Structure 1
Amino acid sequence: MNITNWLLLQVKPKQETRALENLQRQGGECYCPQICIEKLSRGKRIQAEEALFPGYLFINVQPERNGLTYTNIRSSRGVSKIVSFGAEPIKVPETLIAQIKHREQADSIGILAKDLPQAGDNINITEGPFRGLKAVFSHTDGIQRSIVLINLLNQQAPTSLANTQIKKLA
């Protein structure tokens, strides 16, 4: 029987990868959920992967299987501390880890961006500062964004919105 004992670790700033690699080298089963985001780099919009929970990662502690103890974990490079309430480390349920992994996979294969409208379709903006306005779908802009044409002052102004902010009108 494989009993899981997932703990939450706080890592040093911007050292999720370093802590993950060091713990895996010691035989630990670690998990640092990643999310694909768009950000500006030198004036250009690029796709980048970042930690979903910056400064934290999960580890499955099984001392009888991998020999990792709390002391080994705390003293690993990049690790700041084991998150705990009082003296007792927080145990993260396996079901939560499975849900995060499922959501991460769904996001990476684009399930969240399916059913996008076609060029010329009328859409409704459901979130953000333009919420409630009607617009015309122009084209996709990367994996998670789209260009829509909003009618402002009798002119169609192109605007980039997240795919989650728009919905095709029936």
Structure 2
Amino acid sequence: MSIRECLLEEGWYLLKTKVRQELRAMEHLENLGFDTYCPVFRQKSKGAVKEEILFPGYLFLLLDLEKDLKKFHTIRSCRGVQEMVHFNRITRQLVNSGRMSKKEEEKAKSDVLPKPIPNGDDIIDEIRNIVKILNNKADGIKPDALEPGDRVVMNNPLFKHLEMTFEKSLGSYRGQILISHIQEQRLSDGSTQKTVVKERRMNVNLDDLEKA
């Protein structure tokens, strides 16, 4: 096991795929034993229902070091995969350019490796909820009746980091929700603390909501 492999972390990683090869990449990665997720939803258009990829050109991979570490090096060369997404490209470019001293390069090794998505499990759960809402809408399934105080999610990626509470129905398939803007802070013990920094009310279509 190399030093670089020892610095890897478990969690959900983001992969960039070749054009229109998301499902091909997922199939080959799963054949190698990796756990992956490609969000696919159903969309109704002109009376027909078709499947669409929620994030074209991207794929999620759950890295389990106990079972996946020995084959980690195969990910980038897998059919359909273009690269693993790095969140610190500047450090990576400096190391690859050879302009850093050996001491600086050793210190930067952990930053050169791809990192898992922060709070990846929560984000994947939210994406699954969005896909479920979109599928229900395409299938003509109305959302469950909402009661004041219910936690809800909205089928819009712009709202995925917000906490929403249903307050009341306004009739004509519309309702009022309370949106809480959350600030997350990582504590010294590695846990995450959430604090409500702002709240606002908004009227929305009930078809766009689902119980959390």
Judged with a 3 Å threshold, the aligned counterparts in structure 2 of structure 1 residues 48 and 107 are, in CA distance, closer, same or farther, namely same
- With structure 2 as the length reference, what TM-score do the two structures score? 0.47
In the other structure, the counterpart of 1:19 is 25
Given candidates 92, 100, 122, the residue that maps to 1:95 is 122
The 5 A counterparts of 1:49-88 are 49-67=51-69, 69-84=71-86, 85-86=88-89, 87-88=112-113
Distance apart, 1:98 and its partner CA = 1.1
- With structure 1 as the length reference, what TM-score do the two structures score? 0.57
Equivalents in 2 of 1:113, 1:98: separation in Å?
A: 21
Distance apart, 1:45 and its partner CA = 4.2
Given candidates 5, 11, 16, the residue that maps to 1:5 is 11
Question: What's the secondary structure of 1:17's corresponding residue?
Answer: helix
Equivalents in 2 of 1:103, 1:28: separation in Å?
A: 24
Whether 1:30 and 2:10 are equivalent positions in the alignment is no
* Structure number having the greater strand percentage: 1
Equivalents in 2 of 1:59, 1:16: separation in Å?
A: 12
For structure 2, the 5+ residue unaligned runs are 1-8, 90-111, 144-171, 174-205
For the 8 Å contact 1:27–1:68, the answer to whether it is kept is no
* Structure number having the greater helix percentage: 2
For structure 1, the 5+ residue unaligned runs are 116-122, 125-162, 166-170
Equivalents in 2 of 1:54, 1:76: separation in Å?
A: 18
Equivalents in 2 of 1:33, 1:47: separation in Å?
A: 16
Larger mean CA deviation between 12-21 and 90-99 belongs to 90-99
Q: Which amino acid in the other structure matches residue 89 of structure 1? A: P
Matched residues, percent identical?
Answer: 32
Q: Which amino acid in the other structure matches residue 12 of structure 1? A: K
Q: Which amino acid in the other structure matches residue 75 of structure 2? A: I
| Total equivalences in the alignment | 117
Judged with a 3 Å threshold, the aligned counterparts in structure 2 of structure 1 residues 114 and 79 are, in CA distance, closer, same or farther, namely same
